[in-house]
């Protein structure tokens, strides 16, 4: 790597990071957002949750957005020296998040929830991620690695069907679209390698979206969520 590659290192890496998150946000926004908006239905498909019924007593159902989740910077499955986002990149990301948070009123994000489990009448309480608002995540392209990478088992199962069982495209179970690998490249490799990785990810996302569109067209439906969860 040349010395030039390290000038303004964190800033161009942050720009690349934001580009990657925007690509994934676009994919979620077009085809998958209603899964997470109806998380309780989706999670109800897990064998261990089959007969679970809850009543929300207070707050908003958290989905995946529990306290701390947005600040996990681990890159699962990467070699030890690349198993976290690079420290300077984390610092730049946190700086931008702080700025974004400052435009929201105190108390409009985070908070707690309480649920009553019907089975044994017990009450479960928990805390939301500090970036979670009543209308969803406030971070946009500043979301953390776990937030863009995690897809739950029912969602993954559906996406494999949509993509013709192409696990190479969907990615292995803990690495949706091989995003952790791309994030490791953005963290540690040269600018030229990062550019190539973003181009490659852009192509993968394009193919993925095309498969989703084809699936919707063939089945004459508007929503993957409705198709797979409609009668639940
Ligand atoms: S990924 Fe799955 S478990 Fe997480 S919020 Fe979305 S639907 Fe719910
Ligand atoms: S950063 Fe956003 S997507 Fe991630 S856990 Fe927090 S609210 Fe959810």
Confidence class of residue 184 from pLDDT cuts 50, 70 and 90? Answer: very high
Is residue 93 in contact with ligand 2, taking CB distance under 6 Å? Answer: no
Is residue 180 in contact with ligand 2, taking CB distance under 6 Å? Answer: no
Residues 79, 105: Cα–Cα separation, whole Å:
40
Tell me the Cα Rg of the chain: 19
Q: Does residue 47 carry a pLDDT above 90?
A: no
What does the pLDDT read at residue 174?
84
Residue nearest to atom 6 of ligand 1 (CA): 36
Is residue 62 in contact with ligand 1, taking CB distance under 6 Å? Answer: no
Output the CA 104–ligand 1 centroid distance in Å: 25
What does the pLDDT read at residue 50?
77
Q: Where are the alpha helices (DSSP H) in 28-152?
A: 33-37, 39-43, 87-101, 145-149
Number of domains in the chain: 1
173 versus 208: the higher-pLDDT residue is: 208
Q: Select from 35, 62, 127, 131 the residue to mutate for testing ligand 2; criterion: most ligand atoms less than 8 Å from CB.
A: 131
What does the pLDDT read at residue 232?
58
What does the pLDDT read at residue 142?
98
What does the pLDDT read at residue 2?
45
What does the pLDDT read at residue 94?
97
Instruction: Flag the least confident range among 43-52, 163-172, 208-217.
Output: 43-52
The mean pLDDT of 123-147, rounded to a whole number, is 94
Instruction: Flag the least confident range among 22-26, 54-58, 92-96.
Output: 54-58
Is residue 65 in contact with ligand 2, taking CB distance under 6 Å? Answer: yes
What does the pLDDT read at residue 231?
64
Residues 86, 73: Cα–Cα separation, whole Å:
9
24 alpha carbon, closest ligand: 2
Question: How many C-beta neighbours within 10 Å does residue 217 have?
Answer: 9
Contact predicate 18/141, CB 8 Å: yes
| Enclosing domain of residue 116 | 3-229
- pTM tops 0.75: yes
Q: Does residue 5 carry a pLDDT above 50?
A: no
What does the pLDDT read at residue 87?
96
The mean pLDDT of 24-47, rounded to a whole number, is 94
The mean pLDDT of 207-217, rounded to a whole number, is 98
Is residue 128 in contact with ligand 2, taking CB distance under 6 Å? Answer: no
What does the pLDDT read at residue 42?
94
Residue nearest to atom 2 of ligand 2 (CA): 137
Buried b (16+ CB within 10 A) or exposed e, 20-37: bbebbbebeeebbeebbe
The mean pLDDT of 124-143, rounded to a whole number, is 94
Q: Select from 21, 25, 59, 65 the residue to mutate for testing ligand 2; criterion: most ligand atoms less than 8 Å from CB.
A: 65
């Amino acid at each position: 790597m040349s010395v030039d590659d390290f000038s303004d290192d964190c800033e161009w890496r942050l720009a690349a990071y934001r580009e990657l998150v925007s690509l994934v946000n676009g994919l979620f926004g077009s085809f998958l957002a209603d899964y997470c908006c109806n998380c309780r239905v989706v999670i109800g498909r897990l064998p261990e949750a089959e007969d679970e019924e809850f009543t929300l007593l207070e707050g908003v159902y958290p989905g995946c957005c529990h306290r701390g989740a947005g600040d996990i910077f681990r890159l699962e499955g990467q070699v030890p020296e690349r198993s976290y986002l690079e420290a300077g990149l984390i610092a730049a990301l946190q700086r931008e998040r702080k700025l974004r948070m400052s435009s929201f009123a105190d108390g409009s994000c985070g908070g707690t929830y309480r649920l009553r489990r019907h089975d044994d009448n017990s009450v479960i309480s928990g805390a939301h991620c500090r970036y979670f608002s009543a209308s969803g995540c406030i971070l946009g392209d500043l979301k953390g690695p776990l937030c863009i990478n995690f897809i739950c088992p029912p969602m993954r199962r559906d996406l494999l069907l949509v993509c013709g069982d192409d696990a190479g495209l969907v990615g292995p179970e803990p690495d949706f679209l091989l995003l952790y690998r791309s994030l490791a490249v953005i963290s540690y490799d040269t600018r030229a390698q990062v550019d190539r990785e973003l181009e490659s990810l852009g192509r993968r996302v394009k193919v993925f979206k095309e498969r989703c569109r084809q699936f919707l067209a063939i089945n004459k439906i508007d929503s993957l969520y409705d198709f797979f969860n409609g009668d639940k």
